Structure 1
Amino acid sequence: MRPLIDADQAAAWSEAVRIDVRWTLGGPSKEAEYAAGHLPGAVWLDFDRDVCGPVGAVGGRHPLPDPEALQAVLRAAGLNDGDAVLVYDDGDLMSAARTWWTLRWAGVEDVRVLTGGITAWTGAGLPLETQAPQRPEGDLTVRPGSLPVLDADGAAAWAAEHDLVDVRSPERYRGEFEPVDPVAGHIPGAVNRFLAEDDLTDLDRVRARYEPLEAPAFYCGSGVGAARSALALTAAGRPTPPVYIGSWSDWGSLGREVARGEES
């Protein structure tokens, strides 16, 4: 099934559990915005706290959650085995894509992302509500490993044998500019495809961008933008690619070899 859904389709998809994961990198929680208005029936998940694991010595800035902790979060949100899920954010599809990826990794089979986020919903004249739903405790069982994940060794091996794609900006890839992480540059052997050029409303263009890459895997700064690129490729009809969830923030923290400049 295709993982993207527009506002009218989302409104008609009444059986799906709706999850609001609005988020801004480095910004405050958007739970107050959820309380001020969200899709009818939507539950709130805090992206940093609920969808990602706590930051530690390894794993990067947005590591995978502990499966038992994620299961507790999703059950508290009322998710049951077999439920379909609609995920949305403000519209850039960063946190929504990573949540889509995490739920699919956790074994939830039918997860779709609202193209354009809540902005597309309100732009279509669809209503919001302010009351948080009271959903009974769910029985969802998290089954981790349902999507392919790379660690640092796996990313290095992938770059040596296939196409490891760095989806950060060209300046960050080349090591000219690094606004977040202490080390600038890219994983040796990686190629660059800036995620901002993946227009999820033009899947033909997405297909064309990645057609030359036979077996791409993705990384970014901390596994959020890479999940968006994985979503784009999946929506374009390709198999969901591996993602290095720790990404550059993990690679740099491990003191791994750094490349700079253009692609070799």
Structure 2
Amino acid sequence: MMTYQEEEWSRLRRQSTKQAISLAMEGSWKEAIAVNQSILEAFPDDVEALNRLGRAYLELGEYQEAEAAYRRTTEIDPYNAIAVKNLQRLTHLKEVAVAGEIDADRLEPQYFIEEIGKAGIIQLVELAPPEVIARLVAGDRVQLRIDGTDLIVENSRGTYLGRVEAEHGQRLARLMAGGNRYSAAVVSLADGAVRVIIREVFRDPSQAGRLSFPSRGVRVTRPDYSERAIRRELEQEASREYGYTVVGGGDEMEILSEDSSDDDSEVSDEE
């Protein structure tokens, strides 16, 4: 049975963990570093805090500090998938970029859940080399560029990332040539695949009645593919590194840290 002091420490740890996760989701990386460091002062073997610390340093381009945090994780848990993956990513980053060059042009998940019927999620083909893809994280803003009949996806510095498959890329390229405008960002990176969400932000009057994302052959964000589902997909991609699970229903969602207990009155584990 836990003593009062132990219960108090556990409560403070949960609160700090939730704060660290919220700061990460907001992109407040310096503040997230401070909170995770405070957790580690009290709980030096907290691998979730170490991974969050590593991620925050990585986002700021402070690769040496990020590597130190992830290596500390592997000392505690040699098979920790998050730490191992990011140590591999850091190897690529140190080879191809200088500290501070990592993209900061990112979008919050909420940006892409407006006007749900005008967006589609598409997997890129003909990807850039692994050392380029290694620099991406979910939420990175990307750019669309017409190249002949192809639709090319680039990062904010104009570096090639991949191509939209011909059937959908050619359609979108024609609509863009006709005056439509689109925004796009990375949704997920898993098993060597890069998936982006492309959102129509302006439809030229000349394109009235022409759908950007017909349902055949592409995941379209139709009303039945709900706002909650899109948000869940984006946030769960990040959850593997932030150390939380998305819970709740309806339009309201909550972040529940992995070390939260069932008796915590501030959170619920009900789906």
Q: What TM-score, normalized by structure 2, do the two folds share?
A: 0.25
Which of the pair has the greater relative contact order for Cα pairs under 8 Å at 6+ separation? 1
- Indicate the structure with greater strand content: 2
The structure that has the greater radius of gyration is: 2
- Indicate the structure with greater helix content: 2
